[in-house]
Amino acid sequence: MMRHRFALGNGVGPLVVCLALAAPCGVRAEDLDGVWRTDGYGYLLEIDGKHLRAFESTAVSCIPAWTAVRTDRKVDGVEAVFRQEMAPVDVLISVGPSPGSRYFGMLGDASRMVCRRLPRRPDLTTRPADTPQNNFEVFWTTYAEHYPFFALRGVNWKAVRDKYEPRIKADMKPEELFAVMKEMIEPLHDAHTFLRARAINKQFRGERPDPSPLGPKDFDGITAIIKKYLQDGGHTTANSRIRYGKLNDAVGYLRIEGFAGYTETFDFEEGTKALEAALDHALEGADKWHGLVIDVRVNGGGSDVYGVMVASRLASHEYLAFAKKTLMAPGDPLVFTPLQETQVRPSRRAHFHGPIVLLTGRHSVSAAETFTMALMGRKPAVTRMGENTQGVFSDVLGRRLPNGWRFGLPNEIFVTESGKAFDGPGIPPDIKVPVFLKEDLEKGRDGGIEKALQLLMEK
């Protein structure tokens, strides 16, 4: 159900770069030649003329990730555009914050990576052999170097190594190795961790314990119930990811089921057009509304940029949506990159500046949570109603093991203007309302919508 935002090299989703930079276009290819290391993220990038090779690097490994070829595409503020060879994604390189550095990223996320040219070419051939011990070593080291939440999650990662390393044997079966790795990260209860081994048809994704889990039939039932509250059942658009309508003649309703997938191709720029068109329709005539209910109680995430786009339709002034930092180095204290800020800027297209109730819950995940954070600085204030969000904000750093298995983990922290983060417990509501109780689903009622509508009509 959940859709996440991924850092480079995972083949699932794109990373975005902000393009408002005063940088020349058309820089000669040889000006970028060499090997570059990212601040945090653990990437090495080798550029040789028109070719770019990316590697996932740790203290014990250097594993090829993906390749790209330079294109002739011109983008304002961007020095060079490379096209990934295995996916229709453009890699953008721009002038960095200091001499010898560059900003590096792709369309789809609200920040950039900083990379720095290395004075000497490192050994890029240190891919460990495919043995249980080497796979264990790369897995453990990647978490040790990039996971910032061990203290928050109450896990001693060195103790985890001491416990599980003796179980790693040269002749162990892949299924046994998978079981060990799963046991290592399962206690984190982190919905932005995963392990996938297609060769043996095994996969695992972390999650926060849910005392009242919902099944596929429950989610289908939720949609049917919501339609009953909307005049004429409402409307769907943007590849059925958005439902909108009126709860009564004075209150609008906007349900966003994800911040991705607005087109069949998942192309970010095409998705942007689809989302903007959907919001134009959803907010048509909104200047006459008394209130608006926005529903992200079932939203598995996607692109932070899309969430900020929605927030811009609700903003009457510019303010900070959120800022984020990336783990640079483990230790005590942890070392992070400087904060990168993302602003909400009012849109001139169809918009709504009146009272808003935002419905959230445990199935509000990832970009649904950064969207919630992006509404916290709005004036007049948005009333959050429901339950705490899931509590995972970072992009998912996708990684490979020597045996080809894929895994992922968060390595960033999102904060508000006051510096507050909500990883772990999630963003709390202003007004607590149980979300999708079993008895409500059986009765065909939605207590959240009813309470939100009551509150708005009282204003």
Q: Is the pLDDT of residue 431 over 70?
A: yes
Q: What is the pTM of this model?
A: 0.92
Domain end residue (candidates: 179, 205, 231): 205
Q: Is the pLDDT of residue 18 over 50?
A: no
CATH number at residue 364: 3.90.226.10
- Pick from 221, 308, 248: nearest CA to 272: 308
Q: Residue 8 pLDDT more than 60?
A: no
Q: Tens digits of per-residue pLDDT, 330-372?
A: 999 999 999 999 999 999 999 999 999 999 999 999 999 999 9
Count structural domains, the chain.
3
The range of the structural domain enclosing residue 66 comes to 29-117
pLDDT greater than 80 at residue 41 = yes
Indicate if 245 and 297 belong to the same structural domain: yes
> Quick one: what percent of the chain has pLDDT higher than 90?
83
Note whether residue 23 is domain-resident: no
Q: Assess whether pLDDT exceeds 50 at residue 27.
A: yes
For residue 15, is it within any domain? no
In eight-state DSSP terms, residue 428 is P
In this prediction, residue 436 has a pLDDT band, given cuts at 50, 70 and 90, of: very high
Percent share of the chain, pLDDT over 70: 93
pLDDT of amino acid 16:
35
Whether 322 and 355 share a structural domain: yes
State the CATH number of the domain containing residue 154.
Answer: 3.30.750.44
Domain membership of residue 107 (yes or no) is: yes
pLDDT class of 87 with cuts at 50, 70, 90: confident
Question: Do 172 and 258 share a domain, yes or no?
Answer: no
Domain-located, residue 124 = no
Domain end call among 83, 117, 151: 117
Same domain, 172 and 223: no
Average pLDDT over residues 174-198: 98
451 contacts 385 by C-beta, under 8 angstroms = yes
Do 100 and 149 belong together in one domain? no
Interhelix angle 268-282/304-312, rounded to 10 degrees, is 30
Asked if residue 303 belongs to a domain, the reply is yes
Give me 395's structure tokens. 């992009």
The predicted-structure confidence for 224-275, as pLDDT tens digits, reads as follows 999 999 999 999 999 999 999 999 999 999 999 999 999 998 788 999 999 9
Length of the chain: 459
Do residues 338 and 250 share a domain? yes
Q: Which two tokens stand for residue 99?
A: 């001499």
On whether residue 383 sits in a domain, the answer given is yes
CB-based burial label for 101 (10 Å; 0-12, 13-18, 19+): middle
pLDDT over 50 at 24, yes or no? no
Final residue of a structural domain among 78, 93, 117? 117
Q: Is the pLDDT of residue 12 over 50?
A: no
Rounded CA separation 398/408 (Å): 4
Kindly tell me if the per-residue pLDDT of 147 is higher than 80.
yes
Q: Which of 283, 248, 256 is nearest to 450 (CA)?
A: 248
Burial of 158 (0-12, 13-18, 19+ CB in 10 A): exposed
pLDDT confidence bin for 297, thresholds 50/70/90: very high
Residue listed under structure tokens 């309302």: 433
Cβ(389)–Cβ(361) below 8 Å: yes
- Looking at the structure, do residues 65 and 106 belong to the same domain, yes or no? yes
pLDDT in tens, 205-226: 999 999 888 888 898 899 999 9
> What CA–CA distance (Å, rounded) separates 421 from 388?
13
pLDDT of 30 above 80: no
pLDDT in tens, 375-419: 999 999 999 999 999 999 999 999 999 999 999 999 999 999 999
More confident residue, 56 or 28: 56
If asked whether residues 255 and 387 sit together in one domain, one would say yes
229: left (phi over 0), alpha (psi -120 to 50) or beta: alpha
> Helix (H, G, I), strand (E, B), or coil: what is residue 286?
helix
Is 147 inside a domain boundary?
A: yes
Residues 428, 361: one domain?
yes
Are residues 75 and 173 located together in one domain of the fold?
A: no
Q: Is the dihedral of CA 140, 64, 90, 30 positive or negative?
A: positive
Whether residue 321 sits in one domain with residue 289: yes
| φ, ψ for residue 432, nearest 5 deg | -80, 125
For the chain, give the mean pLDDT. 92
* Residue 127: inside a domain: no
Q: Are residues 255 and 366 in the same domain?
A: yes
Instruction: Indicate which CATH number applies to the domain containing 88.
Output: 2.40.128.20
